[in-house]
Structure 1
Amino acid sequence: MRDDRLASLGCGPVSRRRLLGGGLALSAATFLPACKPRMSGLLTGADTHPADYPTVKAVEFMGRYLFERTGGRLGIKVYAGGQLGSETDTLEITSFGGLDFNRVNFAPLNSIEPMTLPFSLPFVFESVAHMRRVVDSAVGDEVLATLEPHGLIGLCIYDSGARSFYNTRRAIRTPDDMAGLKLRVPASDLYVAMVNALGANAVPIPFGEVYQSLAQGVIDGAENNWPSFVSARHYEVATYYSLTEHLLTPEALVMSKTSWDGLSPDDRRLVREAAKLSVVEMRRLWDQRVTEAKATIAASPVAVNAVEKEPFAALMRPVWDQFITTPAQKSVVERILAMREG
């Protein structure tokens, strides 16, 4: 990261300790002490999604709302597209006050707060509507509140879509169809356990390497939501998309507790109000994007097939038992299941 980019975050001179391949040039331990959180003016946010992504647009919406309600006193500058590093990097920076806001998937939160794990379980949500009903309830608020001891204030929960499997070899209709398939997963113990339990072989590789790996036969497939399947152009090489919808893991918008503590009570209320309204905007944009992605796939050679989910979900009990081990976690899972329509 160049010195002018550090200055834009309110950071003074710092020494470099490591390069992170085109992203953050500093370790959090080096970066954070030189950064001064901003309690007024232009607040900063990070997102690994591209600039036109619904979560980025939602936080920008939030910034405009704050700007209008405070007469220009508060606003938000979002560094999108992973400009400041991976979610793990920026999450650490945010927890120490080097960034004000951060949009992260629940997966990296799992490693710092066990109470976020229930939202990441495969097949725990039966639909997008069910997931939204849960995160909008007291359960969502309680899970977000567990982040405060880690230096983070959970503000709201965004969508991440329903993730399904796609591959180059065959349609997946039953778990037997997954046997022997090499499927890319993120670097997550939970994802690895899920795919292996379904009978396939989990291959953790970076998202940016998936297209080439599919084209060269290094992997047979991967899993993701409709918009990502299209935007990453994976549909050009993986022509089978099977609607397992195994994960509906949401994403969180968090704020640095250091920055939060520096706000007045009125500004805190305003930030929470803006965050809540941004969820409505994010969902509007997300639903629109899903519709557009489905239209793109309908006009492509990709074969899309429905899936009976129960045989897949039945294989997840050992995975749930592996990751859900405390009474508090089990209580959250029970409350999630109780909100199903069926």
Structure 2
Amino acid sequence: MKTSHIKKFLPIASVAAMMAFALPAQADNWRGWNIHPNGYPNTVALEEFAEAVAEQTEGRVKPRVYNNAVLGDQSDAIEQTRNGALDFANFNMGPMGPIVPETNVFSLPFLFNDVEHMHAVMDGEIGERFADALEEKGLVVLSWFDSGARSIYNTKQPINTPEDVRGLKIRVMNNDLYVHMIEALGGNATPMSYGEVYQSLTTGVLDGAENNYPSFESSNHYEASGYYSLTEHLIIPECLCVAKASWEKLSEEDQEIIRDVAQQASVRQRELWVNSSEESRQIVLDHGVEINEVEDKAAFQALMEPMYESFIASNPGTGELIEEIRAAE
């Protein structure tokens, strides 16, 4: 190639390169964030969602799910999805508070009566309001997922009343609300890394901890804790969310398709969660763990009232929302 031709070509190539870098990522190659491992109920539902979207949009949208948080932790992934660097994700509402303060109510213990109550709330008008608040921050909620109910397990005795918690050293997540919850029940709250819990249970550093059935079983904590009591004190919903920037690039037809598929994914995820929970429950029962229902949760809830009062005082406007959630059917 002659030098004069090269000189003429270089500016054109430079402009083309700059245009390539300036173009947004194509909507037909969606990247999705997921914290869970292969085979987990959420993972299965998300991968089926991705496959169905690709099929029903005839390849116009091709989602791919990246599991095990390989694209960053949840806080990073929330920001990446909000700014469009990621296209979709499954987020727990627990860490969403710094972005959407209204979601902090989900960290209040005994907010929901049970998992079915949570479904009714999130699938109804209240859930739509949370979805609107999330969309204002760049996250379009397509459907709500389940994450089960967290209950208390320990090495000492069944828990039927708040008095049964008194004096027990219970591991909690590093959140002041959870610390205050155990303290209100008369226990000694111990924030601790999840990976340290098993050994602490076996050595007596801890008397117990709290989590859902699948986590209780998969962590092998049931080997060291003979009692699992269904306090169901914490029930936190999760969302299947799409980046608003990615959503707005879609045609109305594809938006409708993807929203329908997401609703089906929610039904599927909840079914898988129930099955997984039952399998885990049976495993721990077979190992000799004693499981008991807590008949009177009102006694536990009553002790949480000072915490609620403090929360409402610090978060004006949440009192009415809490009452609506509690009253929802």
TM-score if structure 2 supplies the norm length? 0.86
Distance 1:275 1:304, change over 3 A: same
Is 1:37–1:97's contact at 8 Å kept on the other side of the alignment?
Answer: no
Amino acid at match of 2:300: F
Report what 1:192 is aligned to: 179
Structure 2 residue runs of 5 or longer lacking an equivalent are 1-20
Greater share of residues in helix: 2
Report what 1:210 is aligned to: 197
Is 1:97–1:258's contact at 8 Å kept on the other side of the alignment?
Answer: yes
Is 1:118–1:324's contact at 8 Å kept on the other side of the alignment?
Answer: no
Given candidates 266, 275, 279, the residue that maps to 2:262 is 275
Report what 1:30 is aligned to: none
TM-score if structure 1 supplies the norm length? 0.83
Q: Does 1:236 align with 2:223?
A: yes
Question: Which protein has the larger Cα radius of gyration, Structure 1 or Structure 2?
Answer: 2
CA-atom RMSD in angstroms: 2.1
Distance 1:330 1:90, change over 3 A: same
Amino acid at match of 2:252: P
How many Å separate the matches in 2 of 1:39 and 1:263? 11
What's the % identity of the aligned pairs? 44
Given candidates 291, 299, 324, the residue that maps to 1:335 is 324
Report what 1:221 is aligned to: 208
How many Å separate the matches in 2 of 1:334 and 1:313? 14
1:158, distance to aligned residue in structure 2 (A): 0.8
Is 2:143–2:239's contact at 8 Å kept on the other side of the alignment?
Answer: yes
How many Å separate the matches in 2 of 1:241 and 1:36? 54
Is 2:94–2:106's contact at 8 Å kept on the other side of the alignment?
Answer: no
Farther off after superposition, 159-168 or 77-86: 77-86
Is 2:146–2:238's contact at 8 Å kept on the other side of the alignment?
Answer: yes
How many Å separate the matches in 1 of 2:198 and 2:71? 24
Report what 1:115 is aligned to: 102
How many Å separate the matches in 1 of 2:308 and 2:85? 35
Amino acid at match of 1:315: L
Structure 1 residue runs of 5 or longer lacking an equivalent are 1-33
How many Å separate the matches in 2 of 1:247 and 1:128? 10
1:323, distance to aligned residue in structure 2 (A): 2.3
Q: Does 1:318 align with 2:306?
A: yes
SS of 2:63's partner is: strand
Given candidates 130, 140, 153, the residue that maps to 2:140 is 153
SS of 2:96's partner is: helix
SS of 1:289's partner is: helix
Give the count of matched residue pairs.
307
Is 2:38–2:67's contact at 8 Å kept on the other side of the alignment?
Answer: yes
